Structure 1
């Protein structure tokens, strides 16, 4: 089994899900007392979030590239960045190491296509919904991602940072997110991307009448496929 290097802490809530799911997948696929061979570099999210708000993506990239280098030096055979938004820095991170960087966008696109989705509604932070680093990767895979309107993007961003990243899950916020999905369905969306690693804390496939891809879960599946190959 290959050793995976998890670059996490953004947020700690979603990184805990990565840890749980990676070990669950290994247990299911290998059996017995087996668990994932992992190294974790977990950052303090508050300084990262402040840099995000300032738009200082060069500095976030330097911080995360340094974390990736530390993971590689410790023995990681691949880097798994446990966040969607910070894949904005994927080129800086992957360029800092010689081991593979397992991109969450690739796992997401593959899962969407396997489910027959072509026009997914992207639910994520404002950074992911409004900048092109993520949507362009989906478009390159032949998908046509949709996003909520401006007011809903702002509200969803607040739900993620003010609630989910702090471990708070409110039924009222779930109802708001489901209303966003309904608008997206009316606009032609035939699937939903839980495009922030915390959104799966709020919504599940059981809440929806179209296919949903939880990026955290499919990223974990891709990582374990690599580790066990």
Structure 2
């Protein structure tokens, strides 16, 4: 079995979910007591968060390249960055390592195309919703993305950075995210992308009345497909 490298800690809450889901999927595929072969570098989020909030891409890139290089030297066959916001740097990190970096943006776009979803809502951090890296990737595949009004988006961003990344799940915040989903549904979206790796832990997809695209599941599924293609 090939070894998966994980860059985590951004935040540890969603990284734990990645690790759990990845092992469950591997066990489903291989049976018995099979589990994933994993090498992980987990950040202290306090060290990388200032770079995210100030959009200091140079500093954030340096931290991620260092982590990726350590994982590659440890023997990983491919690399998964366990954070939607941080995946904006996946292409530049790929240029600095010799193992495949599994792009979350490609994974989400692939899911949309495979399921013929071409008008989708998008929730995530401010950089994900109102930046261009994910929206451009979707547009290149013929997928239109719809984001909530800025005031709603700012509240989603606050919930992520002040609550979810420290494992705080508040019922009122769940209701606010649900209200964002409803606002997007009114704009005729065919699905809503939960484009932050903490959001699937708060939002109960079955209650939303619309297809919810879980970015963690999409990312893990693409990584597992890649495992099968590596010689």
TM-score interval (norm. to shorter): over 0.9
Report if the CA contact (8 A) 1:123-1:196 is conserved.
Answer: yes
Aligned residues: 229
Match of 2:158 in 1: 158
* Structure-1 residue corresponding to 2:7: 7
Q: Secondary structure at the match of 1:34?
A: coil
Which residue in 1 is equivalent to 2:195?
Answer: 195
Asked if the contact 1:62/1:92 (under 8 Å) is kept, the reply is no
The CA deviation at 1:124 is 0.2
1:171 aligns to what? 171
Q: How far off is 1:73 after superposition?
A: 0.6
Per-residue CA deviations over 1:152-184 (Å, capped at 9, x if unaligned) read 110000000111111011111111111111111
Residue 119 of structure 1 contacts residue 189 of structure 1 at CA under 8 Å; is this kept in 2? Answer: yes
Distance in 1, matches of 2:179 and 2:54, equals: 30
Q: What stretches of structure 2 of length at least 5 have no aligned partner? A: none
- How far did 1:198 drift? 0.4
The 10-residue stretch of structure 1 (105-114 or 141-150) with the greater mean CA deviation from structure 2: 105-114
Shift of 1:205: 2.1
Tell me, what secondary structure is at the counterpart of 2:101? coil
CA RMSD, 1 decimal: 1.1
Return the TM-score normalized by structure 2: 0.96
Q: List alignment gaps of at least 5 residues for structure 1.
A: none
Structure 1 window deviating more from structure 2 (24-33 vs 203-212): it is 203-212
Structure 2 counterpart of 1:124: 124
Larger RCO (CA under 8 A, 6+ residues apart) = 1
Which has the larger displacement, 109-118 or 179-188? Answer: 109-118
After TM superposition, the structure 1 stretch with the greater mean CA deviation from structure 2, 92-101 or 111-120, is 111-120
Whole-angstrom distance in 2 between the partners of 1:85 and 1:185: 24
In structure 1, what is the equivalent of residue 59 of structure 2?
59
Question: CA offsets, 1:80-122, max 9 Å, x none?
Answer: 0100101121122111101111001111111122333111111
The answer as to whether partners of 1:117 and 1:211 remain within 8 angstroms in 2 is no
CA distance in 2 between partners of 1:140 and 1:110 (Å): 11
- Counterpart of 1:30 in structure 2 is 30
